[in-house]
Amino acid sequence: MVSSVRAKLRMTSRSRIVFVLGAVILISLYVYHINIIHTYRPPDISEIRVSDELVTIAKAIKQKHGFVVLQFLNSGFLTLTKNWICNVECFSILPKTIFITTDVDAYRGLAEWKDDLNVILLEYGTKHEMTYGEVIYYYFGLFRVKIMNQLLQRNFSIFETEADATWFDDPLEYFAQSSVDMVVMQNKGKHCQHCMVNGGFLYINATHTSQRMWNELTRQLTEKMKGYRNQEGWRNIGMAGSEQVFLSDIIETEKSANIQWLPVERFVSGLWYTNKEIRSHTQPIVILNNHVLGNAQKIERAKLWGHWSLSADNIRCRHDNCHKDIVKI
Ligand SMILES: *[C@@H]1O[C@H](CO)[C@@H](O)[C@H](O)[C@H]1NC(C)=O
Ligand SMILES: *[C@@H]1O[C@H](CO)[C@@H](O)[C@H](O)[C@H]1NC(C)=O
């Protein structure tokens, strides 16, 4: 009798300890989270340089293919990137692609997943998810612009891509084969007068004109983002730091530049998912999964539309990962 009461008491004090420990852990996680959100400042951008390793890999790819495909990611974007890799396995794009990862988890997540990918690590910024509009998102954009510009000034032509997209065919077959400075995609998907380019899907031919334009873009964007240096990283600043806005203005100003605008019926933005009319007028080669905020939403939407090529455990590519036959209506 007495011993069973003691046992009960011991149990209660043990569960008390568990409860208190749990509460302490939860509170520390919460404080940690608040600290990340509210005290995180964008890291310094002035010392950003391409690495020797990046240039060496880029040279080897350029020698074989004439240009390099670039894709930038942190670990917040890892699952979307793996999905894209599964999606494009049926095209000849991966051997031309360099994945520039900005944290160790993203680097390992790709390099240890498939050992024939070109993956390099250039540490920058946060490993957490970033969303369009946030200071930290635009700093990441500026980091990307700087690296791209440094490669461009070394005469590397660049096809910049992003993982939140579904490819139904190799877009390169639709690029002009003669003398362009840049191939760009319209961000909205309508015919327009003052079009906004998409910052995540463009081909830059390394010409004097494109090199001048990208020097100008880098200069303007660096100047703009200086003003946000001491801001909270996750503060939303609307479109203020958007390289798409700056690049679109530069394209309008550079009358002599030879720009190929990809047809809006074949290269469509994420409005395709929400706008029935756009769907009825288009035969997409590429659909960007943009005009939606947050990676969870992007993933959910892709899955809903059958545009998801990664297995449920995020480890393997689905056997039906090539969408070639889906939208070729
Ligand atoms: C880039 O190409 C131009 C010729 O178009 C050449 O003058 C220049 O030295 C090259 N730059 C580099 C860094 O190789
Ligand atoms: C890139 O520019 C050069 C001229 O500097 C031109 O000869 C070439 O055709 C261009 N490449 C593409 C794919 O437009």
Tens digits of residue pLDDT in 150-200: 999 999 999 999 999 999 999 998 998 789 999 999 887 666 667 899 989
Lowest mean pLDDT among 130-134, 203-207, 325-329: 325-329
- Which of 68, 156, 159, 205 to mutate to test ligand 2, by most ligand atoms within 8 A of the CB atom? 205
Inform me whether the pLDDT recorded for 302 exceeds 60.
yes
Tell me how far apart the alpha carbons of residues 100 and 54 are, in angstroms, rounded to a whole number.
8
Query: Which tokens belong to 119?
Result: 């993956």
Calculate how far, in angstroms, residue 202's C-alpha sits from the geometric centre of ligand 1: 22
The model's confidence at residue 14, banded by pLDDT at 50, 70 and 90, is confident
Sheet of 182-186, strand order: 118-121, 97-101, 68-73, 158-160, 197-204, 182-186, 259-261
324 token code pair: 């070639």
What six digits make up the tokens of 232? 């909270």
Sequence ranges of the domains in the chain: 1-39, 52-304
3 state SS of 67: coil
Radius of gyration of the chain measured on its C-alpha atoms:
23
Percentage of the chain with pLDDT > 70?
Answer: 90
Could you say which ligand is closest to the alpha carbon of residue 153? 1
**For the CA of 50, the nearest ligand:** 1
Task: Categorize the per-residue pLDDT at 6 as very low, low, confident or very high, splitting at 50, 70 and 90.
Answer: low
Note the pLDDT of residue 328.
39
Ligand 2 contact via 180 beta carbon (within 6 Å): yes
pTM: 0.87
Q: pLDDT of 248-276, one tens digit each?
A: 999 999 999 999 999 999 999 999 999 99
Judged against a pLDDT cut of 50, whether residue 329 lies above it is answered with: no
The three-class DSSP label of residue 317 is: strand
Q: Whole-number mean pLDDT of the chain?
A: 88
What's the pLDDT score for residue 327?
45
Q: What is the pLDDT of residues 21-57, one digit of tens each?
A: 888 888 888 777 666 656 677 788 888 999 999 999 9
- Atom 11 in ligand 1: residue holding the nearest Cα: 154
pLDDT band, very low/low/confident/very high, at 132 (cuts 50, 70, 90): confident
Share above pLDDT 90 across residues of the chain, in percent, rounded to a whole number: 60
Q: Provide the pLDDT confidence category of residue 16 given band limits of 50, 70 and 90.
A: confident
Q: Under a CB-based contact definition with an 8 Å cutoff, are residues 305 and 273 in contact?
A: yes
What is the H or E stretch that residue 158 is in? strand 158-160
Among all bound ligands, the one having the nearest atom to the CA of 155 is 1
- Residue 271 CA to ligand 2 centre (angstroms): 32
Task: Report, at the CATH architecture level, how domain 52-304 is classified.
Answer: Alpha-Beta Complex (3.90)
Question: Residue 157 CA: which ligand 2 atom is closest?
Answer: 1
CA of 180 to the centre of ligand 2 (A): 6
Compare 64 and 232 and report the one with higher pLDDT.
Answer: 64
